[in-house]
Amino acid sequence: MVGISSIGFVLLIFVFLMREGVPTFLEVPPGNLFGTRWYPTFDLFGTLPLILGSILVTLTAIAIALPLGVATAVFVREVAPSWAREVLKPMIEVLAGIPSVVLGFFGMTILAPLVREVLGVPTGLTAFTGALLLAYMSLPTMISVAEDALDAVPKSYRDAGLAMGATQWQTIWRVVVPAARSGIVTAVMLGVARAIGETMAVMMVTGNAARMPVTLDSLFRPVRTMTATVAAEMGEVAHGSTHYHALFGVGILLFLITFLINLAAASTIFQKRRRGGLR
Amino acid sequence: MDRHLVQRLGFALLGVVALIVVIPIVLVIGIILVRGASALSWEFLTAMPREGMTAGGIWPAIVGTLLLTLGTAVVAIPVGVGGAVYLSEYARDTWLTRVVRLAIINLAGVPSVVYGLFGLGLFVLFLQFGTSILAGSLTLAIMTLPIVISAAEEALRAVPTEFRTVSASLGGTRWQGIRHVVLPQAFPGIITGVLLGLLRAAGETAPILFTVAAFYLPYLPRSPFDQTMALPYHLYVISTQVPGMPPEIQYGTALVLLALVLSMNVVATLIRSYYRRKREW
């Protein structure tokens, strides 16, 4: 009975987002809605810079987090002596527990000035700073899912590799990691979903300028994501105004994107289970 | 190059990467600890904010966060554990339970700011709770549910089937078996999951932005329909919205929030490892 209510909640979330957000699509012509300028005071609701902003920050974050995450997972699962594992795993859990607003605060006060000085850019509040923070925020998810994937690779694979005369290093990269590939892909997908939905930290460090991130140096300029837009502007709009509906519209977009990514990630997990691959 | 040398270099490289991952975590906590500690005082923790929050304490924010966490617990624990009992003990593997599971996974992945929008749409406006502790707690509770459900379900599934069959063989009904045998055995796992869910709720800002959080409210809430200040939102406000904020107060607030959340984390970890050692199966 209660279990079914969780489908209810997913539906409810969707229904209420739609209820408040769908009017946008009626009030704002599509040319405006998917235009390149988001200036709500002038009735310009172009969501494109926000979407591209989110994509830029998220992809950069994953590009940073993927090598770090996979290497750490391999280290923890395959290489590290047990004392190192005992230190690493709780540390990563602690990272997962740090509230995003605290990380955002740290990003503002410590990381942003650092980025400004090291890169010599006019402001440290850039897409890159946000991506750096997001990379660390998605690491706990990625590491634990990737670790599970490595864990699921049968020991016989490793034994076979070693018996062929390969070193442990060769076995890891040519046998174990390829065998865990689909689990690692799942890890990346969940990391992406986590990063694209993250709000507070990103809002605090990316500078929030709603401009199209299309030039080469966009990464080192302020940018504005979908989540930050909703969080920053919702408090100030009149309920029922076009701007209000447009923010819910952005919410619908976010919901759909994360929903699809999670659905894809979940279906790979389910497939594995059925084939008996994952444990 | 000698492949054993390659292996040694490779392992060293992995170790370096692990350090790159861990050092910033230590730095974040260390810096906030050192800089925040100087702000901590009895007054800071128990006084009302004064002079546009640039002086005085953060008492109403602490109380607000505790109230919200409590409200979240009151809703999320019974619903979450109930759902987990249903999923692990009663539900058969039909398309319906598969959809439920999928729904839970997706619920876990919904961005926190979308929960905020949802809470605004449903609780604040549609049900007319207004910007209130009630609306905020309910929003946080729904966000916490998937964490509680999946942790509790895992804990329940870990209890060996023999416990259930023995209880049934002694003439117990299925519910008696769950109530007196399975649930107590799964209790440590459930409580760990609940704590992990609640600490997430305590630290979240985006879901409470439009559902409960008050910018500056120098008194304590009197009813569930009042607004309240809360630690995460307060930290956001004083670090971005108020110019000329003394950094000690910012770091002090960050430290209190971090300490609250991490202590729940530590308690959860301790409970888990304590019972794992004590467990007889």
Contact B72, B195 (CB under 8 A): no
In terms of average pLDDT, the best of A99-113, A202-216, B97-111, B159-173 is A99-113
How much is the pLDDT for A14? 76
> CB distance A254–B104 less than 8 Å?
no
Alpha carbon separation from A76 to A98, A152, A174, A195, B266 (Å, rounded): 21, 14, 18, 23, 21
Question: Which among A6, A74, A93 has the least Cβ separation from residue B149?
Answer: A6
What lies within 8 Å, CB to CB, of B118 at 6+ separation is: A12, A13, A16, A17, B139, B142
pTM of the predicted model, to two decimals?
0.87
Tokens of B104: 């839970």
What does the mean pLDDT of chain A come to? 83
How much is the pLDDT for A278? 41
How much is the pLDDT for A276? 45
Tokens of B92: 């058969």
Flag whether pLDDT at A275 surpasses 70. no
Residue of chain B whose alpha carbon sits nearest to that of A257: B110
How much is the pLDDT for A80? 85
Question: Which among B7, B15, B269 has the least Cβ separation from residue A169?
Answer: B7
Predicted-complex ipTM score = 0.88
What does the mean pLDDT of chain B come to? 85
Question: Which among B87, B96, B235 has the least Cβ separation from residue A101?
Answer: B235
Question: Which among A98, A143, A197 has the least Cβ separation from residue B112?
Answer: A197
* Range with lowest mean pLDDT among A53-62, A76-85, B74-83, B101-110: B101-110
* A232 lies within 8 A of chain B by CB: no
> CB distance A106–B111 less than 8 Å?
no
* Cα distance from N-terminal residue to C-terminal residue, chain B: 50
Contact B67, B230 (CB under 8 A): no
> CB distance B210–A7 less than 8 Å?
no
SS3 string of chain B? CCHHHHHHHHHHHHHHHHHHHHHHHHHHHHHHHHHHHCCCCHHHHHCCEECCCCEECCHHHHHHHHHHHHHHHHHHHHHHHHHHHHHHHHCCCCHHHHHHHHHHHHHHHCCHHHHHHHHHHHHHHHCCCCCCHHHHHHHHHHHHHHHHHHHHHHHHHHCCHHHHHHHHHCCCCHHHHHHHHHHHHHHHHHHHHHHHHHHHHHHCCHHHHCCCECCCCCCCCCCCCCCECCHHHHHHHHHHHCCCCCHHHHHHHHHHHHHHHHHHHHHHHHHHHHHHHHCCC
Fold annotation for B40-278: MetI-like fold (1.10.3720)
> CB distance A20–B117 less than 8 Å?
yes
Q: Residue A207: helix, strand or coil by DSSP? A: strand
Chain A, 90 to 109: residues with Cβ < 8 Å from chain B are 90-95, 97-106, 108-109
Flag whether pLDDT at A77 surpasses 60. yes
| pLDDT digits 0-9 by tens, A125-171 | 888 888 999 999 999 999 999 998 998 898 899 999 889 888 888 99
| pLDDT digits 0-9 by tens, A231-258 | 888 877 877 788 888 888 888 888 888 8
* B118 lies within 8 A of chain A by CB: yes
How much is the pLDDT for B280? 66
Q: Which residues of B touch A101 (CB under 8 A)?
A: 203, 205, 232-233, 235-236, 257
Higher local confidence (pLDDT), B272 or A92: A92
Q: Residue A279: helix, strand or coil by DSSP? A: coil
Shortest CA gap A275–chain B (Å): 16
When pLDDT is averaged across residues B212-233 and rounded to a whole number, the result is: 79
When pLDDT is averaged across residues B247-273 and rounded to a whole number, the result is: 88
Share above pLDDT 70 across residues of chain B, in percent, rounded to a whole number: 98
Residue of chain B whose alpha carbon sits nearest to that of A75: B14
| pLDDT digits 0-9 by tens, B4-54 | 888 889 899 998 999 999 999 999 999 999 988 888 888 778 777 777 676
Per-residue confidence band for A271, with pLDDT thresholds at 50, 70 and 90: low
How much is the pLDDT for B1? 67
Dihedral of the alpha carbons of A62, B193, A151, A258, in degrees to the nearest 10? -30
What lies within 8 Å, CB to CB, of B147 at 6+ separation is: B108, B193, B196, B197, B200
How much is the pLDDT for A277? 43
Share above pLDDT 90 across residues of chain A, in percent, rounded to a whole number: 16
Shortest CA gap B232–chain A (Å): 6
* B39 lies within 8 A of chain A by CB: no
Shortest CA gap B231–chain A (Å): 10
| pLDDT digits 0-9 by tens, B121-165 | 888 888 888 788 888 899 999 899 888 988 888 888 888 888 888
Q: Which residues of B touch A234 (CB under 8 A)?
A: 116-117, 120, 209-210
Per-residue confidence band for A1, with pLDDT thresholds at 50, 70 and 90: low
**Extents of the domains making up chain B:** 3-37, 40-278
Higher local confidence (pLDDT), B70 or A216: B70
How much is the pLDDT for B27? 92
> CB distance A263–B265 less than 8 Å?
no
